[in-house]
Amino acid sequence: MSPLRTLALGALVLPVAAYANDPYSYAQPDEVRVTHLDLKLKIEFPQRKLEGEATLTLNWKDPKAAVLVLDTRDLSIASVESVDAAGKTAPLTYALAPRDKQLGSKLTIQTPQHPHEIRIAYSTSPNASGLQWLPPAQTADKKLPFMFSQSESIHARSWVPLQDSPAIRFTYDAQVTAPKDMRVAMSAPNDPQHPLDGEFTFKQTHPIPSYLLAIAAGDLSVKETGPRSAVYAEPSVVGKAAHEFEDTEKMIATAEQLYGPYRWGRYDLLVLPPSFPYGGMENPNMTFATPTVLVGDKSLVSLVAHELAHSWSGNLVTAASWRDIWLNEGVTTYVQGRITEALYGKRQADEEDLLSIHALQRELGEMPENAQRLAPKPGNIDADDTLSDVAYSKGSWFLRTLEQRFGRETFDNYLKGYFDHFAFQSITTEQMLDYLKPNLIDKYPGKMSWDDVKAWVYGTGVPKNAPIPDSPRFDTIDKERTAFLAGTLSADKLDAKDWNTQEWMYFLDGLPDTPPLAKMQELDSAWHLTGTPNAEIGMRWYVHAIAAGDKATWPAAAEHMTRIGRLYLTMPVYRALSKTPDGLAFAEQVYARAKNGYHPLTQQAVEALFAKAGKR
């Protein structure tokens, strides 16, 4: 880990993690930085690998530097060479270090002559942590195989040798060869009219960090949803997805009214197979999204609002390290709420805020103190583990507090200025605070003290005066849930016919950890929750039904776990089953059937859970 230093803000002294080099990267950007990537790749589905060349343009910072250090994980390096201005190449000496479990293998290239470009010929492993390969049987239409990447947080190094740190931004060009009849998509402007001729080219002219490098290939159709947006998905899914996401252009326009122009050109959505481990990934120009949000009533399209909001917070202004990731996710979650409120009303936005607040409050009690900080102190935290409810929910709660204290119009103007000031830069928490103090806190004295700001950013838990929105609908649900559990209101008399997804989520979240079996059976009989196609509701239902001891729900829970690879919707059901010997044995049987359809990140999470449950 890098040493601590201090940064003076006015008369106050705040701790800063001074990452001269990212602790999750071997790169040495103070000596040399990659400024451009030129990729030539061939997608080899039978071998489950990418093969090709990565040409890196270099900006040498230190005249004494003699090596270029890159991040890799499980890559086979065929050759490394320098490339001069005339295109002439010369071999370079390199060494690939033994594999570190978290960081991968350091690639050290001898570069005493400081070449302008270096070219690496390589291929990926079939087990690359940032790629998933699906056979036709595991796709929606079962016609062609499918491949997609997930580079966040430090998985880009498993499919491209590069400086894999959010502090380092680069532009890129790519030439990708794929089987004919397949469409390739990347995190760059995509042409919806591109012929399926097996040759695709991409050009990302805006500098992006490595975790936003993305690729996918498969049987993809396209349906445009606006003048600058389209949905990409398998043919049987694309129509449903286009209907669900038909408000995309309205979302873009709403965000532009609030925070300035959308600077990326096109904004497209790629709906992946259900094995995608996350809800969505904000890859520039092409959000990768889970099909679990396609429920038919637009109740879960806040996911699109969230990924679109990253076009300002995260993609435009990027956290410089994973320690600062709340600058991406917390700010984005706040902006998501503003888009949701503008398009779907304050009721839905407030309900979503309350759900996130309650989830955070439950999780904080189980977290070590350092993990409760928006900007944690340096420590042994896995890069993937920084993406917790603290970054998302506590971060957005902090911004809602700023909005309340300073007023919406004032805070909107501040945030718009923040995006403009740091556009296309990667910044630390302390740089954000350096901007916040003169441009908001000091500019409008008496609204919020600097001690309050420090408590939010560097303190544990959540300040006691944090504002919580009201929800009359949730208050009514609380009363009905209490009456139902007490036996004074039968399940079929719950006023749930018109509950939206968020309201069902809230009702189920408020059930006891181990509810009475008879009550769960009564609830299921009245509302047919077992087998629901809504994965948000299903996950919560199966967790409670399993805890109640209702083995009749296990087959449907298994179908849910097999069909969905999204960590957030699958892991709670595995955890619920793993609490008893019989449940653990059943969960292991389900996993044996589902494993090959899971992303490597999901496989790792399930296997770690089983190892812990076995020891218990």
Q: Which residues contact 181 (CB under 8 A, 6 or more apart)?
A: 144, 196, 219
Residue ranges with strand state E in 326-479: 425-427
Which listed residue (392, 542, 574, 598) is catalytic? Answer: 392
Nearest to 268, CA basis, from 202, 319, 320, 362: 202
Helix (H) or strand (E) holding 345: none
Contact, 518 vs 487, CB < 8 A?
no
**Which letter does DSSP use for residue 391 in this model?**
I
- Dist CA 209 CA 213 (whole Å): 7
Q: Is 392 a catalytic residue?
A: yes
Query: Which of the residues 31, 81, 152, 307 is marked catalytic?
Result: 307
Token pair 């699109």: residue: 304
270 to each of 184, 190, 310, 320, 377, how far by Cα in Å?
A: 11, 11, 16, 27, 36
| Residues 189, 202 contacting (CB under 8 angstroms) | yes
> Active-site residue 435, yes or no?
no
Q: Pairing relation of β-strands 169-177 and 32-44?
A: parallel
Task: Using DSSP bridges, classify how beta strands 32-44 and 49-60 pair: parallel, antiparallel or unpaired.
Answer: antiparallel
Answer for the pair 316, 263: CB distance below 8 angstroms, yes or no.
yes
E strand map for 84-211: 89-91, 94-96, 105-110, 117-123, 131-134, 146-149, 169-177, 183-186, 199-209
DSSP 73: S
Enzyme catalytic residues: 307, 392
